[in-house]
Structure 1
Amino acid sequence: MKHYNIPIFISHFGCPNDCVFCNQKKINGRETDVSTDDIKDIIESYLKTLPKKSKKEVAFFGGTFTGISIKLQEEYLSVVYEYIKKGLIDGIRISTRPDYINEEIVEILRKYGVTTVELGVQSLDEDVLRQTHRFYPVQNVFLASKLIKSAGIQLGIQLMLGLPGSTDESDYMSAVKTVELNPDVARIYPTLVIKETEMAEMFRNGSYIPLSLDKAVKRCKKIYSLLDYSDINIIRVGLQPTEDLNDSENVLGGPFHPAFRELVVGEIYYDFLKNILEVEERLEVESNEKNVSRIVGINKINREKFGKDLKIKIDNTLEVNVIKVNGNIYSWKQVLRGEIDEPGNNKY
């Protein structure tokens, strides 16, 4: 059954945190900018167009949901809960910070039918957290995750690559610790420099240098491979293209690409095939046609790199997550494993 989010974007104007990458505006006297009537109108509008036989979640995005007052949280959730009781909505998805989760909050979320909580973890390296002004110990992430999963609520983890103070190793270790958390879903975002943030000033004075697109793809592919190999559902890689993100006045720097995930997957396939070519000196690939674009890469970049060495034949009897190379069948997990094995290991 197809899944649809009904997005409701909230801004937590009362948020006391000043993360260097966030440009959320502070407006005195207002906690947020969404009314309960707004929520009803948004839900009703979506229900008119979404297929009846589909899974629908109301998703509160854009702010630290559990950072707003308990009273307002319950007002918002109770509106959606009425639709859940009528069978029109299947659940609620929220995003919040790990240090804004406790037993009382989790019980409220469970009571009103919240099905997924995504934690904006960003990094599991305490030095990176300090440099981004996220002042909580990593242990808080583990405690929050345990509370969420114990309540029968799906856990999501959001990671940001290339934050101030991060390295290839620290970002990868954040992914290793994410696997220990055993989340149901994950999102991976390369860090962008957004205007009107502290990071924008750091970028201007040279104290922060964002990742290039090439470096971001290379850093991300190992993390993507580890999470996917560990059966964690990666629901987004890279920020979704919007009018604001396509505007150079709002994004001052960083590795934005409208198809960042496809770049990462194409690079994973390139590494896999390159390792085989070095040993066998030929690449005769058979694949389901639905998988060919991932193998050849965006704008056929992998085909250009391999040139005449790469020969591809369509075989729709093969599953999408399986390819045959030089007569040998490889699963997608075997492709991924090449990125996460230690150097020198027999990858295939």
Structure 2
Amino acid sequence: MSESRTVPAEKKGRIKHANVSIFVPHVGCPNQCSFCNQRKISGAEQAPTPQQVREVCQKAAELRKEKLRDTQLAFFGGSFTAIERGYMLSLLEAAKSFVGEDGFAGIRISTRPDAINEEILTILKEYHVNAIELGVQSMNDRVLLANKRGHTAQDVVKAAEMIQDFQIELGLQMMTGLYQSTWQDDVDTAKAIAALHPKTVRIYPTITLEGTDLAALYQQGLYQPMSLEDSVKLCSDLLEFFEEQNIQVIRLGLHAQESLEQGYLAGPYHPAFRELCEGRIYLKKALLQISQFPEKTPLTIYVNPKELSKMAGQNRCNLNYLKQRNPIKIKPDDSLEAFCVRVELV
């Protein structure tokens, strides 16, 4: 159990918020998906007790104080609404008194699309759950079946509509590079997700972890993980797409932690994966404008002050690449929004 900050895309009018996350590993999952080893992903070995939930809430209240009203308590890691009903209620009951005017802004949960119905939503609403994230992973039934998800794309559509009917914030999570999924399948999944109008999206490149069915497929030569380079290309395109749809991508890539790195076998894992994707977006935008100027012409690239490092790229790779064509300087301009680039003569 730990506190982690979820940072939406830095776009004008959007507010950053924090989650105090409590991980419930595997509890409630009716089957084992091909890629899943939640204990390696979350670092949590044991399911939390109600007392532990109270202790986490109390500690957060003491540390965050006035910031608590901008913070959600989040139950992540498993399929929260599929766990044993009494246990689920005990966790919600333990958190309930910490939510309200002087407490958490609400409760956020993650769950499966086929573990949502009107009865469950009524219960969640009573316990101040105001955001639900569905583990969609793919909107292709062939891919879902191959990865043993146990639900269909239509289950996602139905659950998403019910959540929105209850006026609960909808978040959708997708994965790229799944077993038997193609580049186009992933793009089509993003388009199908956007059509459901979620407020937030998480994009997770598929990582092959020890102790998973995917690991066995990989070791047998039946599954080839996407390369880091291709994954960055695809995910940066998806990030741009969701931005254009005004949908916040609140996570891109798995959270870097020791347990994940210890269980890693293969796949496009990088501790700063989002930064790689954002850097590629800036490079593309800069190249488009720089191509309009003659080679060797000194140029200045202007971006938002908070985006300078992304424009320069990791280890200044973008800047070094651009300097092969033109003498380049990068300068701040606070009138520019995120992902906006302006190139001018020096």
CA contact (8 A) 1:96 1:117 kept: yes
The residue type paired with residue 224 of structure 1 is L
Structure 2 counterpart of 1:224, from 217, 239, 245:
239
Alignment correspondent of 1:19: 33
The residue type paired with residue 294 of structure 2 is E
Alignment correspondent of 1:314: 331
Counterpart CA distance in 1 for 2:81 and 2:206 is 24
Aligned-pair CA distance for 1:193 = 0.6
Structure 1 counterpart of 2:282, from 249, 266, 269:
269
CA contact (8 A) 1:287 1:312 kept: no
CA contact (8 A) 2:37 2:209 kept: yes
Alignment correspondent of 1:212: 227
Counterpart CA distance in 2 for 1:23 and 1:2 is 29
Structure 1, unmatched stretches of 5+, are 26-31, 328-348
CA contact (8 A) 1:202 1:208 kept: yes
Counterpart CA distance in 2 for 1:301 and 1:21 is 32
Mapped pair 1:298 → 2:314: yes
Counterpart CA distance in 2 for 1:326 and 1:300 is 20
Mapped pair 1:280 → 2:293: yes
Q: Percent identity at matched positions? A: 35
Secondary structure of the residue aligned to 2:25 is coil
Q: State how many pairs are aligned.
A: 319
Structure 2 counterpart of 1:109, from 105, 116, 124:
124
Structure 2, unmatched stretches of 5+, are 1-14, 40-45
Aligned-pair CA distance for 1:246 = 2.7
Give the RMSD, CA atoms, in angstroms. 1.9
Structure 1 counterpart of 2:142, from 77, 102, 127:
127
TM-score computed with the length of structure 1 as normaliser = 0.86
> Cα distance 1:312–1:105, how it changes in 2: closer, same or farther (>3 A)?
same
TM-score computed with the length of structure 2 as normaliser = 0.87
Secondary structure of the residue aligned to 1:246 is helix
Counterpart CA distance in 2 for 1:281 and 1:126 is 50
Counterpart CA distance in 2 for 1:325 and 1:165 is 42
> Cα distance 1:310–1:208, how it changes in 2: closer, same or farther (>3 A)?
farther
Alignment correspondent of 1:241: 256
- Higher RCO, 1 vs 2 (CA within 8 Å, ≥6 residues apart): 2
Alignment correspondent of 2:21: 7
Alignment correspondent of 1:159: 174
> Cα distance 1:238–1:46, how it changes in 2: closer, same or farther (>3 A)?
same
Counterpart CA distance in 1 for 2:284 and 2:302 is 17
Counterpart CA distance in 2 for 1:35 and 1:317 is 47
Aligned-pair CA distance for 1:61 = 1.0
Aligned-pair CA distance for 1:53 = 3.5
Counterpart CA distance in 1 for 2:264 and 2:59 is 31
Aligned-pair CA distance for 1:316 = 3.5
The residue type paired with residue 324 of structure 1 is R
The residue type paired with residue 186 of structure 2 is D
Counterpart CA distance in 2 for 1:37 and 1:199 is 36
The residue type paired with residue 240 of structure 1 is H
